[in-house]
Amino acid sequence: MLSKKAKYALKALEYIAKQSDINPILISEISEAQNIPKKFLEAILLELKRAGILKSKKGKFGGYNLQQSAEEVNLGFVIRLIDGPISLIACVSDKYYEPCAECENEATCGLRSVVSEVREATTAILTKVTLADLIKRELRLKKSKATKK
């Protein structure tokens, strides 16, 4: 499962991406709009900034903006950043690889081979979908809901 932190990060990024690029967005504005505890959100945004996704401006009329474009930021990157490995077992993880303690032979482990397939399928989706896609999806869903009425 995703941690709340990762979910907050994605919600916050989506919110920032939806606003105009001109004015920096306040932490407190995001916090209220998305129901995220403010102090917790501060830490999250800072992490996203360090990772190069966001940029910030200090002082009065400061706040956060995207550093990369909404088309560049994919969900897999964010989730990996905040929650760590996406794979179900570390022995099939690319970025967070660790050998299994018990498993004597990784190359012939059946479980590993299955979990590896799951990882491929999961990351294929998560790294393909960007913030921009997320916003587009939302619009599409809202439209199809409206026409159904």
Partner DNA sequence: TGTAACCCTACTAATTCTATATACGTAAAA
Partner DNA sequence: TTTTACGTATATAGAATTAGTAGGGTTACA
Taking the complex as a whole, how short is the minimal distance between the CB of residue 60 and a copy of itself, in angstroms? Answer: 29
Which C-beta is closer to DNA: that of 79 or that of 130? 79
118 is a contact residue toward a copy of itself (CB under 8 A): yes
Which C-beta is closer to a copy of itself: that of 62 or that of 124? 124
The partner in contact with residue 3, picked from a copy of itself, DNA, none with C-beta cut-offs of 5 to 8 angstroms by kind, is DNA
Give residues with Cβ within 8 angstroms of 27, minimum separation 6: 38, 41, 42, 45, 63, 64
112 is a contact residue toward DNA (CB under 7 A): no
When binding is defined by CB under 7 A, the residue of 20, 22, 60, 146 that contacts DNA is 60
CA distances from 32 to 19, 35, 36, 42, 95 (A): 15, 5, 7, 13, 34
Stretch that binds a copy of itself, among 21-29, 45-53, 63-71, 125-133 (CB under 8 A): 125-133
When binding is defined by CB under 8 A, the residue of 19, 56, 122, 127 that contacts a copy of itself is 122
